Amino acid sequence: MTDTATQIPFVDYLVLDDGEPHLIAHECTGCGARYFDRRNACAGCFGTDFTTAEIATNGEVRSFTIVTFAAPGVDVPFVASVVDCGGTSVRGNIINCPPDPEHVTLGMPVRLATYVVGTDDHGVEAVNYGFEPA
């Protein structure tokens, strides 16, 4: 019998199958800069060696905007944010929270959360991440 995934991560840097969901980054071994997508060279020091670094699952909202206009099919409003996760800046939506400035604030403590964005014809769920109030 073959094991088939029932969930797959929406992005390569979201880890679902290793205990609690978390993010991983490519960390430059020369200067410590972190990147979520594939890199051939570091933008900070031009180094070409990288290692994998786990990112903290708790953080603080450093910047956010409430998006009210988006492409057709995208539900609005939603909150797009930049979260400081232990010194690593992570872009992600604020979820499980009303999208207004009374509920989302700078410095707000948040934690990584996952949610299903779609399911294919075989029942495999695509899972994305966001941040929710801690």
pLDDT along the chain (134 residues), means of 10: 76 91 97 94 97 98 97 95 97 97 97 95 95 97
Please state the domain count of the chain.
1
Can you give the pLDDT at residue 3? 61
Can you give the pLDDT at residue 19? 83
pTM over 0.85: yes
Classify residue 1: in a domain, yes or no: no
Query: Which residues have CB under 8 Å from 7's CB, separation 6+?
Result: 16, 116, 124, 125, 126, 127
φ/ψ of residue 100, rounded to 5:
-145, 160
Can you give the pLDDT at residue 1? 46
Residue 81 CB coordination number (10 Å): 23
DSSP state of 2: -
Q: What is the largest CA-CA distance in the chain?
A: 52
User: Angle CA(41)–CA(22)–CA(97) in degrees, nearest 5?
Assistant: 115
Classify residue 118: in a domain, yes or no: yes
Give the H or E element holding residue 61.
strand 58-67
Classify residue 74: in a domain, yes or no: yes
Classify residue 71: in a domain, yes or no: yes
Classify residue 2: in a domain, yes or no: no
Residue 17 lies in domain? 7-133
